[in-house]
Structure 1
Amino acid sequence: MEAKLVLEDGTIFVGKSFGATDKTGGEIVFNTSMTGYQEILTDASYKGEIVTMTYPLIGNYGINEDDIESFQPHVNGFIVKEFCAQPSNWRSLNKLDDYLKENNIVGISDIDTRALTKKLRIHGTMRGIITTDQASEDELIAKAKAAPGLSGRDLVSEVTTQESYELIGDGYRVVLMDFGAKKNIVRSLSEVGCEVIVVPADTSAKKILNFNPDGVMLSNGPGDPQDVPYAVETVKELLDEKPIFGICLGHQILGIALGADTYKLKFGHRGANHPVQDLKTEKVYITPQNHGFAIKEESLDLEKAEVTHKNLNDGTIEGIRHRSLPAFSVQYHPEASPGPQDSKYLFDEFIDLMAKEEECKAIS
């Protein structure tokens, strides 16, 4: 069946429909990863977005049970050059096409994803639609312009857990504020022995402290960090109370809680090979990223916080640390293991912060 991808600037790509035969709208973004499409589909940070895969062949290893990052797929739509109808992999339990149909995700294939990506890099991300409607071009372009953007709505509330739950461990107790947390964050905390209590995004500081945690993790999540002021206020209240580690959206929320401002990137960082430098050690890490917003460096109070990591592609802030309180964050995903283990040291640093806090309490 013929499908069309229509951008708000009037550009129309004609391709083939796969996945659910429906229509969808959202912000069109691109991801440069060669593998990991299943993790991308199920990453809650993509809520509200239609994802373009720049790697030309997608679906060749099918769908398995191990690489799911959330309770369901969250992308608004999926764009590929070519999808593989017959996957071949020992872990494969399902085909990409069937998986998208089962989860009502609209896809389009057989379009020039290179041309689309170049357009988004030059002009920035755009709103758009994927549709099989045979409406006029003017009608389709009007629908693309009316598609929802990322700012001005609380997407976190649509992906966070509705109830608190606990994963038993014999180490430090960590409360994970779920803004759309990837399962790998929970796994990474569990791997270092932590007891993890996952709570909804709107959980108050008082309720979090009632769990008597040793530390607080701020997860990744979708949308504009300015649209979750309740989370920012909670983090402000927790800063003087417990060690804090933020990832991705959690990094941006910590930045705002420290008085900084955020802004929307032209086309965002989405992929598995973004070079980031640790400014203290000068070591460069190859990182996975998925975000469309960043901390505005000139707005950060450098007497209160320091920049710890920088993106070597565009110089944006990739990490911050409070100068006197046990709180730090990174913009990228250390739990996603592109290195594969080179960024695990950040979880060790979090453990060290909690250990130091425990020592201070014992002395006092």
Structure 2
Amino acid sequence: MKAYLILEDGHIFEGESFGAQREIISEFVFNTSMTGYLEVLSDPSYAGQSVVMTYPLIGNYGVCLEDQESSQPYIQGLIVNELARVGSHFRKNMDLEEYCIQNDIPGIQGIDTRYLTKMIRNQGCMNGMITTTYYENREDIIEKIKAFQVTGEVLKTTCQKPYTIGIGKKKVALYDFGAKKNIAKELVKRDCIVTVYPATTSAADILKEGYDGIMLSNGPGDPSECVDIINQIKILMKSGIPIFAICLGHQLMALANGFQTEKLKYGHHGANHPVKDLSTGRVYISTQNHNYVVKDETIDSYIAKPWFRNVNDQTIEGIEYIHKNIKTVQFHPEACAGPLDTSYLFDEFMKMMEDKNHA
């Protein structure tokens, strides 16, 4: 069956439908990863968005459900140049198209994803529609596409009640703003017992439990919308408990300290982004998925200092807070399917908790 991608600027791409045959409107971004498409599909940070995969063949190793980053995918749609109808891997549970059908994800294959990616790079993230209907008169459709906004996604992706995983010596609270499962897994591997809390949890409820550390997770959307969460973080950061934050959590901590965030033209989405540790000069390859960054010039040097920078565009990728046991990064140290260059940052968090106990 034919399918169409209609962008807000009027461009139309014609391809072949796969997965769920339903009509959706979303924001469109591109991801430059060569592997890890299941991790992309199941990353809650993509809530409200559809993803254009730049690598031409997607689905060649099928789907292993154990590798999902959440209990359900939140991605709106998937656009590929060529879909591998049959995946080949000893861990495979199903093929990619079957996964998309089961999870109601519409997809298009057979379009020029290289050209589409260049459009997004030049014009910025755009809204669009995936549909199997050919619209002769598209004026009303275009207006509807333009009106779409990614909003309120954190509350859609967070857990509904607290739960605990792992058995360990360190007690860690993980604030779930749309957390990837591998964040908790990395902590459990390091002898932590992790309690995951909904984004609506008050700081008081967390502080009364006597945690050794607090982790602020990744998540979707515009961080400046999360006013209630930011107010709770302001309370948490005064507690003296070590805090480590990732992606959206990094941005929310910056906002809680009076810094500002802004939307990038087309965001950072992929597994090949170089970041430089400013304290050592060493460069690591990182996985990233975000549209917003902390504005460099708004960081108060009396409160914090840049820790990591993106080598490609020099945007802030990490912040160390002065005289506070708080560190944050924009990228994903828990990255799966990789690269795992920055997984050592979980060891850094463990050291923060140890130092606090010995202080």
Aligned equivalent of 1:296: 295
1:104 corresponding residue in structure 2: 104
Answer whether contact 2:36 2:337 (CA < 8 A) is retained: no
Q: Kindly tell me: are residues 130 and 139 of structure 1, through their superposed partners in 2, closer, same or farther at Cα, counting changes over 3 Å?
A: same
**1:183 pairs with 2:181:** yes
Note if 1:124 corresponds to 2:115. no
State how 1:21-170 maps to structure 2 within 5 Å. 21-136=21-136, 137-146=138-147, 148-150=148-150, 153-170=151-168
User: Which runs of structure 2 are paired with 1:206-285 in the superposition (5 Å)?
Assistant: 206-241=204-239, 242-285=241-284
* Partner residue, 1:348: 347
Q: Residues of 2 paired with 1:219 and 1:236: CA distance? A: 16
Q: Which moved more, 1:313-322 or 1:161-170?
A: 161-170
Q: How many residues align?
A: 357
The amino acid that maps onto 1:212 is G
Per mean C-alpha deviation after superposition, the further-off stretch among 346-355 and 266-275 is: 346-355
State how far apart, in whole Å, the 2-side matches of 1:222 and 1:266 are: 16
| Alpha-carbon distance in 2 for matches of 1:197, 1:185 | 12
Distance in 2 between residues matched to 1:90 and 1:63, nearest whole Å: 10
TM-score in terms of structure 1 length: 0.96
User: Match of 1:54, as an amino acid?
Assistant: T
Report the equivalent of 1:329: 328
Distance 2:13 2:339 in 1: 37
Under a length normalisation based on structure 2, what TM-score does the superposition of the two structures give? 0.97
Unaligned runs of 5+ in 2: none
Q: CA deviation at 1:154?
A: 1.6
Q: Choose the corresponding residue for 2:170, options 169, 172, 190.
A: 172
Change (3 A) 1:338 1:19: closer
Is the partner of 2:301 in helix, strand or coil?
A: coil
Deviation at 1:134, TM superposition (A): 2.6
Output the CA distance in 1 between the equivalents of 2:255 and 2:143: 35
Q: CA deviation at 1:338?
A: 6.7
Q: CA deviation at 1:252?
A: 0.4
Q: Quick check: 319-328 or 329-338, which moved more?
A: 329-338
SS at the partner of 1:259? coil
Relative to 1, partners in 2 of residues 1:183 and 1:77: Cα closer, same or farther, differing over 3 Å? Answer: same
For residues 245-269 of structure 1, what are the alpha-carbon distances to aligned partners after superposition, in whole Å with 9 as ceiling and x for unaligned?
0000011011111110000000000
Note the C-alpha offset of 1:341. 3.9
What letter is aligned with 1:210? K
AA partner of residue 244 (structure 1): I
TM-fit CA distance, 1:107: 0.6
Q: Which amino acid aligns with 2:289?
A: N
* Secondary structure at 1:324 match in 2: coil
Letter in structure 1 aligned against 2:25: G
In the superposition, relative to structure 1, how do residues 338 and 284 fare at CA in structure 2: closer, same or farther (>3 Å)? farther
Amino acid at match of 1:184: N
Determine the structure 1 residue equivalent to 2:305: 306
Aligned amino acid, residue 97 of structure 1: E
CA contact (8 A) 1:164 1:197 kept: yes
* Cα separation, 2, equivalents of 1:164 and 1:338: 27
CA contact (8 A) 2:271 2:338 kept: no
Specify the code of the residue in structure 1 equivalent to 2:287: P
Could you list the runs of 5+ residues in structure 1 that have no partner in the other structure? none
Aligned CA-pair RMSD:
1.1
* CA-CA distance at 1:345 after TM superposition: 2.0
Instruction: Give the Cα–Cα distance (whole angstroms) in 1 for the partners of residues 20 and 176 of structure 2.
Output: 29
| 1:281-335 Cα distance to aligned partner (Å, 9 max, x none) | 1000000000000000111111100100000000000000111010010000011
Q: Distance in 1 between matches of 2:172 and 2:303?
A: 25
